A and B are shown apart, each in its own frame.
Chain A
Amino acid sequence: MLTAMHKQLLNDYQQDFPLSPTPYQDIASSLGVTEEDVLLAFNELADEHFISRIGSIIVPNHIGVSTLVAMAVPVEQLQSIADIVSRYPEVNHNYERENRFNLWFVMIAKDDEYLQSVIETIETESGFNAMQLPLLADYFINLGFEMDFDD
């Protein structure tokens, strides 16, 4: 069960987590609780998988290169092809979407040459074309969002 403090931690610290020597103490001070309370609450949120981590979201293509890739795979082969794709460490998200292009994954590598070689290998191993859709411009990257806890 989420307490009021859990909800505050979920909502208010997605963007600007304190960059100070004692971030949890800073949060505790602003919430009027103890540092121990905050640490315990974050551990609970992580244990219950409400948060995946406290970490950073990096702008794509500034550190290494990345691309979104789409494949059109017959439904009965989807799981086996997805398994092939997921085995590559360069693939970090891999999911099904409702479309004729039904397998979508994001790849990251240190440079373009290496990225292209891995994509070719995946095409060969899977037997399907990989449609590359690299980012050309990001108008807005904000994976943080305000949650509506009421409904």
Chain B
Amino acid sequence: MIDFIDRQLIELLQDGLATVSRPYALIGQQLNLSEDEVIVRLSRLKELGLIKRLGVIVNHRKLGYCANAMVVFDVPDTLVEQIAGHVSQFSFVNLCYLRPRRGEQWPYNLYCMIHGKNREKVLQQLDHLISSCGLSSVNHEVLFSRKCFKQRGAIYKADSEPGKV
């Protein structure tokens, strides 16, 4: 579905698009591709859904969105798709994932992320979410983020060519 050149292209894009007049041509130069081929390949990767979005990646904290809560719910398996569909409708929900439960120590399967300007706002939004989605009887925990030790764009290394480290 995707080839080595696509992987290299994605890897280069992790560093960000240059602020020059012809940024895709610049990427092409590094991979021996024409500008046109870079654009065609990126369009295809977007169409395939492998690139979920291409654009400005904002720094939430700097923009004043300092409160970030990961909310985890223990939702019955039979209802999870329906509830996830409902949860995803809210504009303040940035992510909604299904992950495996890990026994009694971690019985949660549905994750959603809420970014907000402060804790109170996030908790208000969560209350709204819980009541609108009928989740008041569902066990949940709210995990606000505190210190960030490391953060970078996801780096997908293309396999190195022979002789290249």
Contacts and interface: CB of A to CB of B under 8 A. Distances in A.
B98 A13 contact: no
A63 B2 contact: yes
Interface of A: 9-10, 13-17, 19-25, 35, 39, 42-43, 45-46, 48-60, 62-64, 66, 68, 70, 82-83, 85-86, 89, 91-99, 101, 104-106, 108, 110, 131, 133-148, 151
Interface of B: 2, 7, 10, 13-17, 19-25, 35-36, 39, 42-43, 46, 49-59, 62-63, 65, 70, 81, 84-85, 87-88, 91-100, 102, 105-106, 115, 117, 141, 143-157, 159
Contact of A54 (B57, B94, B149): B57
Interface majority SS (helix, strand, loop, mixed), chain B: mixed
A95 B53 contact: no
Nearest to A16: B55
A14 B56 contact: yes
Contact of B17 (A53, A62, A92, A134): A53
Contacts of A21: 22, 24-25, 35-36, 39
Contacts of B117: 148, 151
Given A39-B19, A99-B141, A58 B56 contact: no
Contacts of A39: 19-21
Interface majority SS (helix, strand, loop, mixed), chain A: mixed
Contacts of A54: 16-17, 19, 55-57
Return the 6 tightest CB-CB contacts between A and B, nearest first.
Answer: A53-B16, A140-B88, A139-B84, A17-B55, A137-B98, A94-B150
Given A55-B13, A56-B10, A98-B143, A10 B149 contact: no
Given A131-B102, A151-B117, A23 B23 contact: yes
Contact of A138 (B20, B65, B85, B96): B96
Contacts of A106: 154
